[in-house]
Amino acid sequence: MVNPKERNQRMKSLFANVDTEALAKQTPPSPIEQEKRRVGSAAVKSMDRAFVSIEDENRRLHDQLLSAESIIELDPDRVVPSFVNDRLDIEGDESFQAFVEGIREAGQKLPILVRPLAGKPGHYQAAYGHRRLRACQILKRPVKAIVRDLSDEELVVSQGIENSERLNLSFIEQALFALTLRERKYSREVISDALGRKEGQRLAYISILTNTAALIPEELIRAIGPASSVGRPKWEKLGALINNRSLSTQQKKILADVTASSAWSESGSDQRFTLIMDAFDQSAKRKPDLVEVTLDGGVIIAAKRTDNSTRISIPDNRLPGLSDWLLQRLPELFEEFQQSKERVLE
């Protein structure tokens, strides 16, 4: 530790070469010079404070960017649709071409939401924004997107963000979407959130949707399309004409004939529903085919055949015991029928 005497000696040595007489002759600065120095000093201090403020603002914005999701541009061909899409026919929508032209002229205003595709680096799966994605694919331009890690449930629920504001999602699109989610074991609450439905009785409505879609084969729904002006009653009526969500042989033939017609190719989705409905309805109203088998003695067994069933009428008064015999032998006859089908396949 330095003692006081040694400290004094060091201080003297620092100023040993200073001319004290010359120093005494220097005049103090004038008031104007003092004001200039004061102003300059204040300006420097103000600039320092400004730089500190700018640095603080930059730091704050940087923190915001780090905490927020940023919009990036992706190759649209590296983005696949959601595993459960709520759109039946994007390009078949009459308004879609105008939608594409709007993006061509004004650009994509809102980003889509995607998640990284598992097992395929650089590839993504869309949660919502499928029309924007398809438009960018057609225009061969990057698609603006927000990338977020999402579970399957979070992905379908996120679709409710758009569905709650979407005015053109048809009844059958909602119904098929809800049924697909139900078949994937999602709860009605999750399905309701995914459809963006928040009003009362929403769970009851989900049951209406799924029950209606369960009446009609999916391939028939997709052939018809969204049918935006067709509501629940008409779809339920169509479903009532179909047995166990499976078209009969006759209905398959009717569908093939209708879809091959010029009227079908010239019609929109609403008109296609009408074509199918009318054709199926007329078939259901058609009188059943009557087949008569004449046995020995002129006894007649009649059979009425429709698309879905065959009814055999046996005159018990003329052939007593035959009905009971047939019913008892029916399991054996069915087994014989099955074996004959297997032989044909061989």
What's the pLDDT score for residue 262? 93
Q: Are strands 310-313 and 300-305 parallel, antiparallel or unpaired?
A: antiparallel
Q: Kindly report the CATH number that applies to the domain delimited by 44-150.
A: 3.90.1530.10
Q: Are strands 124-128 and 112-116 parallel, antiparallel or unpaired?
A: antiparallel
CB neighbourhood size of 179 (10 A): 21
Please give the DSSP secondary-structure letter assigned to residue 229.
Answer: T
Check: CB of residue 237 under 8 Å from CB of residue 228.
no
Check: CB of residue 129 under 8 Å from CB of residue 110.
yes
Angle at 113 between CA 110 and CA 117, to 5 degrees: 145
Say which residue the tokens 């200073």 belong to: 18
Residue-level pLDDT, tens digit, the chain, 346 residues: 555 556 555 545 544 555 555 545 555 666 556 555 555 555 445 455 544 544 554 454 444 334 446 899 999 999 999 888 777 767 766 678 889 999 999 999 889 999 999 889 999 999 988 889 999 999 999 999 999 999 999 998 887 666 655 556 789 999 999 999 999 898 888 888 888 776 656 778 899 999 999 999 999 999 999 898 999 999 999 999 998 899 988 899 999 999 999 999 999 899 999 999 999 988 777 666 778 888 887 888 888 877 667 888 998 888 898 899 989 998 888 888 888 766 645 5
Query: From the centroid of its chain, how far is CA 92?
Result: 17
Q: Which residues of 322-343 are buried (b: 16+ CB within 10 A; e: fewer)?
A: eeeeeeeeeeeeeeeeeeeeee
State the alpha helices, DSSP H only, in the chain.
4-14, 20-25, 31-67, 96-106, 130-139, 152-158, 160-163, 171-183, 188-194, 202-213, 218-224, 232-240, 249-259, 262-265, 269-285, 322-345
As given in the structure block, the two tokens for residue 339 are: 């074996």
As given in the structure block, the two tokens for residue 307 are: 């698309």
Task: Give the residue extent of every domain in the chain.
Answer: 44-150, 219-286, 288-325
pTM over 0.85: no
Angle at 258 between CA 253 and CA 261, to 5 degrees: 125
What's the pLDDT score for residue 59? 54
